[in-house]
Amino acid sequence: MALLPFGSPPPKTLVAGTNITLTPSGSNITIATTSGGSAIAPTVQRFTSTLYVTFTVTSANATAGATYTDGYGSTVTVLRTIVAGTTLETTATQLPTGSTLTKASGTGDATIAFSADTNTGIYHTPTSPAPLYIKVTMVGAGGGGGGSASGFTGGTGGTGGNTTFGASLTAGGGSGGQGNTGSGSLPGSGGTNTISIGTTLVNVQGGGGGTGDNSSATAGGPGGGIGGSSAFGGAGAGGAAVVATNGISGVANSGGGGGGGGEQFGVYSSGNGGGSGGFIQTIISSPSSTYTFTIGVGGAGGTGTTTGGNGGSGFILVEEFYSLAAGSTTSGITRSINSISSPATAGATALTDYVYFVSGTTTLTLPTAVGNTNLYTVKNAGVNTVSIATTSAQTIDGSASPITLPVANTSLDLISDGSNWRIV
């Protein structure tokens, strides 16, 4: 049996139908009980490389799923229904132009004028119930691989875009790998992050790209440099040597770097790999109702006779954690400490542990055991006999009440089994 340190309170006993939640805070632990309900499973929202566009409108009406066109080749799909709203959230096939959207299908205004549009989405924290906290996992986009061409003229890959969540979380995009510009050409660097909210679980810089073959005079060289691997993997392979193939793009939504363009033996050397995006995982307690977000776009592969692979796009995963199902209750345990010397009935406030120091020859009567989940500690604090009685002929460990504590400085802990009392 494990021994408790001297002076420790008695251990708590779990009762059927009651859940215990331990919440650490520094060196302290808060014990909270939940009753009358069940835990809610976490929910998840994912945001990928889809193009999110948010419009500023005036008193517009549109139903989720309706589609609109801008007249210049872009089609947008409404994500959230608005009624006389000023913010229209959509996904788009390409960035819109102009200032008017015309309905193509679904329910909503025939035309919607907009004064501004941004390449952002909006995360909405659930309500009814609201989560206690959210866990945000995100990766920046990978950089493009460098291209390869004769005369050491391969182009440098583009830098991957940052992935952002609100104003305080940024998973940085990786830089592009340089083309075959000579022996000093460099691969792309991994993206770095900014975290200024919540509790950081993981903060990992992106992986750097691999170096290509900087000399075309070597037969069967290593080819294009591999892209940097993110925490999700997804690196693009470098283009082949000798046969001179293009670099492979990083995997979409992984943040992997693109591979460098391959070399043509005796003609030109190969490009370098792009760096991968940085990786973040953070807990945000009591989250705000909304957060604006952007998904990093992979950097373009460098130009050349053989091109570098594009970087993989970024990604956001938001997990929402709850406490109780609707109708449940939650509270911390309260301890009530009492000294008595005359007959009394013990308290029955829910989620309360009662301690009674009893002096004199007297009786403490327990409340009904039915529906009671409290813990009762009774101590003989004098030199006389203390009696513990029950109501409604309820028993204590199967015996009729009252039971007695005849010895000074002895104590008992009692708890209900749902219908009678038990000594623990």
Query: Structural domains in the chain?
Result: 49-118 (no CATH), 120-330 (no CATH), 333-423 (2.60.120)
pLDDT in tens, 188-198: 999 999 999 99
What's the pLDDT score for residue 284? 96
pLDDT in tens, 224-240: 999 999 999 999 999 98
What's the pLDDT score for residue 66? 96
Residue 379 amino acid letter:
K
Count Cβ atoms below 10 Å from residue 407 Cβ, excluding itself. Answer: 10
- HSE of 367, CA atoms in CB hemisphere, 13 A: 15
Q: How do beta strands 386-389 and 375-380 pair?
A: unpaired
Instruction: Point out the residues of the chain with pLDDT beneath 70.
Output: 1-39, 215-221, 324-332
Cα 225 → chain centroid:
33
Spatial neighbors of 118 by CB under 8 A, at least 6 apart, are 53, 54
CA–CA dist 377, 341 (Å, integer): 16
What's the pLDDT score for residue 195? 97
**Exposed, middle or buried, 366 (CB in 10 Å: 0-12/13-18/19+)?**
buried
The reported pTM is: 0.68
When computed from its CA atoms, the radius of gyration of the chain, rounded to whole angstroms, is 33
Residue 367 amino acid letter:
P
What's the pLDDT score for residue 371? 87
pLDDT in tens, 244-270: 899 999 999 999 999 999 988 778 889
Distances (CA, A) of 185 to 7, 16, 180, 210, 275: 68, 68, 7, 11, 14
**Sheet with strand 169-171: strands edge to edge:** 121-124, 290-294, 163-165, 169-171, 193-195
CA–CA dist 321, 285 (Å, integer): 10
